[in-house]
Amino acid sequence: MSPYLAAVRNYWALLPAIAICVGLILLYAVPTLVNPQWTSSILGLFKQLPGGEETEEPAPLGPKQIRSRRMLAGALVIGALGLVGFNVVLNREANGCYLAAKAWGATDDPKQDGDPCVNKIFGAFFSNGKGEVLEKSQQPVAGYQVVKGKHPAYLKWIQNPPKPDEVAMVFGVGFNCSNDLKVIETADKITAVIDDTEPCPPDSQIEVVPIKLDKPVGDRPVVTVGGQPIPRINPDLPSWGTVLKKLATGG
């Protein structure tokens, strides 16, 4: 599993403890589901009578006892599956945020990578892309993402997510340059630049800047410095099928 788990390890650190709990639960629950009398007999071996005498064979279970023990075992199995599923959900979210940040150009940093939905990628707190371009020269923007219909799932899990009804597109920009992002909308194109004379340094934190447009992007080109087209990207959480396949194959 190491290639898939290498990016984010904090939630998977719980996996050994969860595996032990699940193993103990299944050790009791599976035989009980098959034949509750087996576990009743095995548990009876651990009982001691006063004076150290040998225990007697446990009495056969009645229909109500069999039904109640099977219901308990079934509930334990469901709880065990829920425990594993909860851990997988946390990993999917964290890994998805990590991959989204990497897609926007984030560099690796153990301090931010441990909890990427909070520290590595987050919604903009002050920047909104508005304002006039003031510098004599600007820096290009590396990518953009159109948000329409079903929004990318990672936007729901990041810290300070953009409001769904107030965003038409987003730009992922290094934290140190996000306040310099300027987006100009005209009838025939959308222009996005970093209004700074110096290139943005590599950054391990990405700020997702939501942009509200007067009308949908449509067929209008999205360009940056010199009229160069900006690549459109579409980062998102991996699908459940992809997650389960990677966990099963270790890919």
Label the pairing between strands 206-211 and 169-174: antiparallel
Place of tokens 């009398």: 37
97: CB partners within 8 A, 6+ apart: 116, 117, 120, 121, 154, 157, 158, 237
* Structural domain contains residue 235: no
Q: Nearest 10 degrees: CA dihedral of 169, 174, 175, 179? A: -60
User: pTM higher than 0.85 for the full model?
Assistant: no
CB atoms within 10 A of CB 61: 17
pLDDT at 26: 82
Give the mean model confidence (pLDDT) for residues 154-169: 88
Establish if 157 belongs to a structural domain: yes
Q: Would you say residue 7 has pLDDT above 60?
A: no
Same domain, 66 and 122: no
Convert the pLDDT of each residue in 33-58 to its tens digit.
877 777 766 555 445 545 445 555 56
Asked whether the predicted pLDDT for residue 151 surpasses 50, the reply is yes
How far CA 89 is from CA of 157, 197, 247, in Å, comes to 12, 42, 12
> Are 71 and 19 part of one and the same domain?
yes
Determine the structural domain holding residue 168 and report its residue range. 110-227
Q: What is the mean pLDDT of residues 118-142?
A: 92
Task: Return d(Cα 13, Cα 35) in angstroms, integer.
Answer: 35
**Is 243 within the bounds of a domain?**
no
Domain boundary residue, one of 103, 125, 157: 103
Residue finishing a domain among 103, 119, 152: 103
245, part of any domain:
no
Across the range 141-166, mean pLDDT stands at: 89
The number of domains in the chain is 2
Q: 194 and 139, same structural domain?
A: yes
Bridge-based pairing state of the strands 190-194 and 222-223: parallel
| Pair (215, 118) in one structural domain | yes
Separation CA 16–CA 25 (nearest Å): 14
Select from 156, 141, 96 the least CA-distant residue to 120: 96
Cα–Cα dist 206/178, whole Å:
8
> DSSP assignment of 117-146, as one string?
HHHTEEE-SS--S-S---SSS-EE---BEE
For 230, counting Cβ atoms within 10 Å of its Cβ (0-12 exposed, 13-18 middle, 19+ buried), the class is: buried
pLDDT at residue 49 in the model: 46
Specify the DSSP element, H or E, that contains 248.
helix 240-249
In this structure, are residues 56 and 41 in contact, taking their beta carbons and an 8 Å threshold? no
On whether both 146 and 185 belong to a single domain, the answer is yes
Q: Are residues 80 and 142 in the same domain?
A: no
Indicate if 156 and 91 belong to the same structural domain: no
Residue 152 belongs to some domain of the structure: yes
**Same domain for 148 and 219?**
yes
| Residue whose structure tokens are 């004599």 | 136
